[in-house]
């Protein structure tokens, strides 16, 4: 009889369970409209697809260095110069199998078993589950709508004084709230972490998807941070499994050694073609215009249904909403909405196990037609 480890007993990602049920309904011939998953409905940019066709014909694809092809790392370094005006040596960049590998590598590199990693609540559930699977302890620090769901130094300090924290992970823009941590909060958090010897990890996977200002990378304030990013969201390349890390110099070799054994290397085809995405800004901005239109639809129509915004949707492609006027069980609400009107959305329980029962996350990464039709169904269903 196989004995399962405690590390294997992580909570399910309920949004993926909803997606599975939605796919089953769609497979049975139902017209399912999904606001559940944070995946662009668009394919990778045309330049990437054309480069992939050429690479399949002409490249010998295989393993690469664990840190990635040097030409890919140089292209990412050039991106930081072009986008942020920051010089990042290519030698400090590691190409990863999506951002997920980056999180695992970062946690392993800066903590020992039993180490404590602070994350925000609400927050992306995979953070919590990866941390637990690595025999670490997630420290979920609640954020306040009054602070636009930005983590404050006071909250971090209180948790740290109660029991030492080894690493802090901040996402901006954030999943599920879409909230952006402004430059002053970000700098204050980084300074506190520096003074207390807490490793600072910045998840910047939703950079490029901000609607109220410009993105600011943590590298603008300090080199002594770990930045994790990906081609999945803004660049519409979820299935290509290609991301990157920017590392402090002292962490490059340890991360390389970990990656050699855990992942060998990121997919070679993706490494070859991903830099072309940096050249497709016009196409990607047109896609972003679609998200912006979808966002406006949600802002206009959800409040009329008695669904309020619990955070300002300033970035990413999510709305974090209070459905307390209709239910105190967001999982039941999600299941009924899917079964009765075939609209899928993510229950708040995923993102905040303590207070998520009255919240839902609505993704507006799909087409504007999908968003509009889903809102029509919801309005009829809720009697608005």
- Widest pairwise Cα distance in the chain: 59
Q: Is 257 found in the same domain as 139?
A: yes
Domains in the chain, number: 2
Burial class (CB in 10 A: 0-12, 13-18, 19+), 34: buried
Residue-number span of the structural domain to which 370 is assigned? 6-44+281-381
pTM for the model stands at 0.95
CB 268 within 8 A of CB 39: no
Q: Is 161 part of a structural domain of the chain? A: yes
Distance CA 302, CA 323 (A): 10
- Do residue 193 and residue 322 come from a single domain? no
Within a domain: 56: no
Residue 368, in any domain of the structure = yes
Residues paired with 142 in a beta bridge: 121
Residue 157 located in a structural domain: yes
- Residues 273, 286, single domain; the answer is no
88 vs 80: CA distance, rounded Å: 7
Number of other CB atoms surrounding residue 249 within 10 Å? 11
- Please report whether residue 328 resides in a domain: yes
- Bridge partners, residue 321, by sequence: 309, 360
Q: Residue for token digits 């300074």?
A: 191
The answer to whether the beta carbons of residues 227 and 246 sit under 8 Å apart is: yes
Asked, for residue 51, whether it belongs to a domain, the answer is no
Same-domain status, 120 and 266: yes
Does residue 55 lie within any of the structural domains?
A: no
- Shared-domain flag, residues 177 and 70: yes
175 and 101 together in one domain: yes
| 355 and 221, same domain (yes or no) | no
- Residue 260 and residue 155 share a domain: yes
What CATH number is attached to the domain comprising 189?
Answer: 3.40.640.10
User: What is the chain's pLDDT, residue by residue, as a tens digit (384 residues)?
Assistant: 788 888 877 777 777 777 888 889 999 999 999 998 888 989 999 999 999 999 999 999 999 999 999 999 999 999 999 999 999 999 999 999 999 999 999 999 999 999 999 999 999 999 999 999 999 999 999 998 888 899 999 999 999 999 999 999 999 999 999 999 999 999 999 999 999 999 999 999 999 999 988 899 999 999 999 999 999 999 999 999 999 999 999 999 999 999 999 999 999 999 999 999 999 999 999 999 999 999 999 999 999 999 999 988 999 999 999 999 999 999 999 999 999 999 999 999 889 999 899 999 999 999 999 999 999 999 999 987
Instruction: Identify whether residues 350 and 375 lie together within a single domain.
Output: yes
273 and 291 inside one domain = no
Q: Are 174 and 120 in contact (CB under 8 A)?
A: yes
Domain boundary among 261, 278, 295: 278
Please say which residue of 278, 304, 323 terminates a domain: 278
Q: Are residues 253 and 305 in the same domain?
A: no
- Report how far residue 186's alpha carbon sits from residue 155's, in angstroms, rounded to the nearest whole number: 14
Whether residue 218 sits in one domain with residue 308: no
Q: Which helix (H) or strand (E) holds 12?
A: none
Q: Domain for residue 113, yes or no?
A: yes
């Amino acid at each position: 009889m196989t004995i399962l480890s405690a590390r294997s007993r992580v909570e399910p990602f309920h949004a993926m369970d909803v997606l599975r049920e939605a796919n089953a309904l769609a497979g049975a011939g139902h017209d399912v409209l999904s606001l559940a998953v944070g995946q662009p409905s668009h394919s990778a940019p045309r330049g990437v697809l054309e480069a992939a066709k050429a690479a399949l014909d002409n490249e010998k694809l295989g393993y690469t260095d664990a840190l990635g092809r040097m030409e890919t790392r140089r292209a990412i370094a050039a991106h930081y110069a072009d986008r942020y005006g920051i010089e990042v040596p290519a030698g400090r960049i590691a190409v990863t199998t999506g951002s997920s590998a980056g999180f695992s590598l970062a946690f392993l590199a800066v903590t020992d078993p039993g180490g404590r990693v602070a994350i925000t609540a609400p927050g992306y559930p995979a953070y919590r589950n990866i941390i637990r699977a690595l025999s670490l302890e997630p420290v979920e620090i609640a954020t306040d709508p009054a602070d636009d769901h930005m983590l404050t130094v006071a909250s971090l300090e209180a948790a740290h004084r109660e029991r030492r924290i080894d690493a802090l992970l901040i996402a901006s823009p954030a999943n599920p709230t879409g909230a952006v941590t402004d430059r002053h909060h970000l700098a204050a958090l980084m300074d506190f972490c520096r003074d207390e010897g807490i490793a600072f990890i910045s998840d910047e996977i939703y950079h490029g998807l901000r609607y109220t200002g410009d993105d600011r990378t943590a590298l603008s304030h300090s080199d002594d941070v770990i930045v994790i990013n990906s081609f999945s969201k803004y660049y519409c390349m979820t299935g290509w499994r290609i991301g990157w890390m920017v590392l402090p110099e002292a962490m490059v070799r340890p991360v390389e050694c970990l990656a050699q054994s855990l992942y060998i290397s990121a997919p070679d085809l993706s490494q070859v073609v991903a830099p072309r995405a940096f050249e497709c800004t016009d196409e990607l901005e047109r896609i972003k215009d679609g998200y912006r239109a979808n966002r406006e639809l949600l802002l206009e129509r959800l409040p009329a249904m008695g669904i309020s915004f619990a955070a300002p949707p300033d970035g990413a492609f999510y709305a974090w909403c209070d459905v307390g006027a209709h239910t105190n069980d967001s999982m039941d609400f999600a299941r009924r909405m899917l079964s009765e009107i075939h609209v899928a959305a993510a229950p708040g329980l995923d993102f905040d196990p303590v207070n998520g029962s009255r919240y839902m996350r609505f993704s507006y990464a799909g087409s504007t037609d999908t968003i509009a039709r889903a809102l029509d169904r919801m309005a009829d269903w809720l009697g608005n």
